[in-house]
Amino acid sequence: MSEATKPESERRQFKAIKGTRDILPPDSALWNWFEKTARGVMESYNFGEIRTPIFEETELFARAVGNETEVVSKEMYTFLDPPRDLDVGPFPRQTTLESMGQLSDLLPRDRVSLRPEATASVVRAYIEHGMHTRPGDRKLYYIGPMFRRERPQKGRYRQFYQIGAEVLGTSDAPAIDAELIEMLTVLLERCQIEKYTLLINSIGCSACRPTYVELLRAKLREPEIFSKLGADSQRRVETNPLRVMDSKLPEEQAIIEKLPKISEHLCADCKAHYEKLKKELALREVPFTESPRLVRGLDYYMRTTFEITSPILGAQNALCGGGRYDGLVEMLGGPKGIKGIGFALGEDRFIDAIVEAKKINATRAVDVFIAWMGERAYPTAVRLAHVLRGEKHAVELPPEEVKFRKALERADKMGARYVLIIGDDEIASKQLTVKRLANGVQERISEDAVVDYFRRG
């Protein structure tokens, strides 16, 4: 028996895959408003939009994000993209990087992954298209979906959406860092999110950070400290001790507070860069809090790191974060001497913050509901709907005739501002009726006056 011929109670109902969701009206109106607002802010700072593919060679993310990170080792959606003339047979349902390693010699460049983040893709595009040959810094922003197979929770999904910006060029002037951060605070203000904290830190450079990392590792190896760490932190002591500072486990916080601070081990150049950053932020009247624990664990990160948190989000309070990554372009095969800094914000979290703030209503109601009655009224209704839509009004035109009272009820449920009534009497007199639903006031206007009437609002 085919699916179509089965009783309705037995038919399979498809649902969104775990960790994904549908964004429906009217919620989608707020998403569109937020993305439009973000674009406006970033373009006012002379950032241009870049759109990259949603999947790339797996090796790009492995090299950029790091094989030791959970993002690469556990969370990426990775699959084989074999040549057409090569039959590699069926793949298991759970195809992981480890299981695919058996084919790595056969297909070294044919593993692809859905992007878990966008910085690596932006840098790849920067290198591939020779953007370093153009004068000045490249200021780029992106908006789009990312994918990570992690445990779904509030504000965190397996398909999630990010907005981010990157500045790539030959300068590492602190003013670049400060302007990027300032841009984020302007976006927060446009979204009327008033309760937030900007955290900043410097994590040094290739000259001073390695010495600090070894000092930190030695301290974490001490038996009385190591024995109190969780399994993840114990593993990170050897692979990447900076990541221990990121731990959110309550039982590790007292230990972390007593660890050496990187701010006390910066070289002279990094200290000067950090002090200038703070002066640049003060010049822009951007308030900040210094956070010695704020780190980025990958080798190419250096100097400036920052994060914005908001108490209105509860325990998972991070809105966005970023940092300077001066070594990434060269690491991915690009020219030497190219510096970079960027940030990424999760749209899901930001939308939650906007909703909690309760100051933005982006839902657009129907401007005009056209209630037409009778065959003679229909052509006029179609024509006026076209004209008003050309004037950027949201217009609802019923495809079939609706009784007058029912039309008013439908318009009211849609939240329409006006009902434009067109019946036999209106056609005969060439005078249309407009009803304001807010107060019930009705007016008669000529068809020629319709555009001016709704322009005045």
Q: 263 or 286: whose pLDDT is higher?
A: 286
Question: CA 38 to CA 191: how far, in whole Å?
Answer: 9
- Condensed to tens digits (0 to 9), the pLDDT of residues 337-378 reads 999 999 999 999 899 889 888 888 887 788 999 999 999 999
- Condensed to tens digits (0 to 9), the pLDDT of residues 169-179 reads 999 999 999 99
Displacement of CA 30 from its chain's centroid (Å): 14
CB 368 within 8 A of CB 450: no
Output the pLDDT for position 363: 78
pLDDT grade for 107, boundaries at 50, 70 and 90 = very low
Q: Where are the beta strands (DSSP E) in 293-373?
A: 302-309, 318-324, 339-346, 368-372
**What is the DSSP secondary structure assignment for residue 321, as one 8-state letter?**
E
Provide the sign of the torsion angle of the four alpha carbons 37, 41, 46, 49, taken in this order: negative
pLDDT exceeds 90 at position 37: yes
Q: 293 or 56: whose pLDDT is higher?
A: 56
Q: What homologous superfamily does CATH list for 27-208+266-357?
A: Bira Bifunctional Protein; Domain 2 (3.30.930.10)
CB 408 within 8 A of CB 371: yes
pLDDT grade for 242, boundaries at 50, 70 and 90 = confident
Output the pLDDT for position 359: 84
Output the pLDDT for position 175: 96
**What is the DSSP secondary structure assignment for residue 73, as one 8-state letter?**
I
* SS3 labels along 172-224: CCHHHHHHHHHHHHHHHHHCCCCCCEEEEEECCCCCCHHHHHHHHHHHHHCHH
- Rounded to a whole number, what is the largest CA-CA distance in the chain? 94
Output the pLDDT for position 94: 45
CA–CA distances in Å: residue 54 to residues 58, 65, 107, 147, 243 = 12, 16, 21, 9, 27
Q: Tokens 């937020």 — which residue?
A: 34
Output the pLDDT for position 5: 66
Q: Please, what is the Cα angle at 328 between 185 and 42, to 5 degrees?
A: 25
Q: 219 or 140: whose pLDDT is higher?
A: 140
Output the pLDDT for position 367: 92
pLDDT grade for 104, boundaries at 50, 70 and 90 = very low
Question: CA 29 to CA 363: how far, in whole Å?
Answer: 5
CATH 3.40.50.800 residue ranges of the chain are: 368-456
Give the DSSP H/E element, type plus range, for residue 167. Answer: strand 159-169
What mean pLDDT is reported for the chain? 87
By the 10 Å C-beta count (0-12 exposed, 13-18 middle, 19+ buried), 16 is classed as exposed
Question: CA 308 to CA 313: how far, in whole Å?
Answer: 12
Which pTM value belongs to this model? 0.83
pLDDT grade for 271, boundaries at 50, 70 and 90 = very high
CATH 3.30.930.10 residue ranges of the chain are: 27-208+266-357
pLDDT exceeds 60 at position 214: yes
Output the pLDDT for position 84: 52
Output the pLDDT for position 35: 96
Provide, rounded to the nearest whole percent, the portion of the chain with pLDDT above 90.
53
pLDDT exceeds 60 at position 85: no
Output the pLDDT for position 237: 86
pLDDT exceeds 70 at position 96: no
- Condensed to tens digits (0 to 9), the pLDDT of residues 23-34 reads 998 889 999 999
Count Cα atoms within 13 angstroms, Cβ side, for 227: 3
- Condensed to tens digits (0 to 9), the pLDDT of residues 305-332 reads 999 999 888 777 889 999 999 989 999 9
* CATH 3.40.50.800 at 368-456, yes or no: yes
Provide, rounded to the nearest whole percent, the portion of the chain with pLDDT above 70.
89
pLDDT exceeds 60 at position 105: no
Task: Give the best-scoring range by mean pLDDT among 55-59, 122-126, 152-156, 242-246.
Answer: 122-126
CB 202 within 8 A of CB 273: yes
Output the pLDDT for position 97: 47
